[in-house]
Amino acid sequence: MSPVVKRRGERFTLPGKYLLFILTVLCICLMLLTFGTNVFDKPLNTALGYVVIPFQQGIARAGEWLSRRSDELGQIRVLLDENARLKEEVAALTEENTLLQQDKYELNHLQELMELDQQYGDYKKIGARIISRDSGNWYTSFLIDKGSDDGLAEDMNVIAGGGLVGRITATGPNWARVTAIISDNSNVSAMTLASGDNLIVSGDLQMMSEGVITFTKLVDSKNVVVEGDKIVTSDISDKYLPNILIGYIHTINKDNNNLTKSGYITPAVDFEHLSEVLVITDLKQVVDETE
């Protein structure tokens, strides 16, 4: 029987096959449309933002309160041990610090760091709270509770604890999505602080379980870059502001082509226990190349 023939006294219903076909075509059209343009972004982000975000905010706050209470109870003993250990460590570190201060090279290094801090201080920043994480288990991105109403926009840089977290990739009126630098689909143009050599830092799901992310294309012709060197965002990146700390070199390997090096970086930010971040509202200056 043809599905479109309408019988008397029978309600017209669309067979499953046809609905599947319609939904498939709809999804493919949406994908093609949103791949190049962002026509739906504004209305959808606004509408769904007002429905879902308030719940997520509430849950995030309640969850934080609960986990803080359980942490307090569970960790008192651990904290006592840790306190004793930390006191020893403080003593050791104080001694080490005195040694460091005598070292002239290290002094220069610290001055450079101070300049770096100064530069962070110049940017305008907004604090935001993380309210939910990507549930897909594949990419690392999360939502924060500030959006375009608070002056946030796409491509703004996000930092926490002095290191780079990522950048904003979508905004609604009261929320924004941050894609982390450890996400598998993220690449950051970076440089070494000491020698100014450029390299590319890429997120890597596979390496992240060991607490490191990969870097590639380091041209280090003078062989001066060593493990432990600071990696900061480069001047030539078109999304990231210069000189934001990304992390420290963990291992360096020579590539097969003998020209470039690659290896792993330990990120400066603890992505496991992130709950509040700072958004830099200054955007990187971009030259319009349409002419």
Please give the residue ranges that form the binding site for other proteins (CB under 8 A). Answer: 14, 16, 19-20, 23-24, 26-31, 33-35, 40, 44-45, 48, 51-52, 55-56, 59-60, 63, 66-67, 131-139, 141, 143, 170, 177, 184-185, 205-206, 209
Element of type H or E holding 100: helix 41-102
Nearer to other proteins, 19 or 153 (CB): 19
Give the phi and the psi of residue 265 in degrees, each rounded to 5: -125, 135
Nearer to other proteins, 148 or 234 (CB): 148
DSSP state letter for 284 = P
Q: What is the dihedral of CA 144, 149, 151, 154, to 10 degrees?
A: 60
Nearer to other proteins, 17 or 77 (CB): 17
Tell me the CA distances in angstroms from 151 to 42, 126, 148, 166, 282, one per residue in order: 15, 9, 5, 18, 10
Tell me the CA distances in angstroms from 135 to 57, 138, 208, 253, one per residue in order: 16, 8, 17, 34
CB of 187 to other proteins, least distance (A): 11
Nearer to other proteins, 138 or 226 (CB): 138
CB of 155 to other proteins, least distance (A): 15
CB of 170 to other proteins, least distance (A): 8
| Cβ neighbours for 198, distance < 8 A, ≥ 6 positions apart | 189, 190, 191, 217, 218, 219, 234, 236
Tell me the CA distances in angstroms from 127 to 91, 150, 290, one per residue in order: 34, 11, 34
CB of 137 to other proteins, least distance (A): 5
CB of 17 to other proteins, least distance (A): 8
DSSP state letter for 104 = H
CB of 214 to other proteins, least distance (A): 12
CB of 138 to other proteins, least distance (A): 6
Nearer to other proteins, 56 or 195 (CB): 56
Nearer to other proteins, 98 or 209 (CB): 209
Nearer to other proteins, 187 or 243 (CB): 187
Instruction: Please name every residue paired with 266 in a beta bridge, in sequence order, or none if there are none.
Output: 248
Give the whole-angstrom CA distance, residue 250 versus residue 172. Answer: 37
Instruction: Please name every residue paired with 202 in a beta bridge, in sequence order, or none if there are none.
Output: 187, 214
CB 170: neighbour CB atoms within 10 A? 16
Nearer to other proteins, 143 or 199 (CB): 143
CB 143: neighbour CB atoms within 10 A? 24
Give the whole-angstrom CA distance, residue 113 versus residue 108. Answer: 9
CB of 136 to other proteins, least distance (A): 6
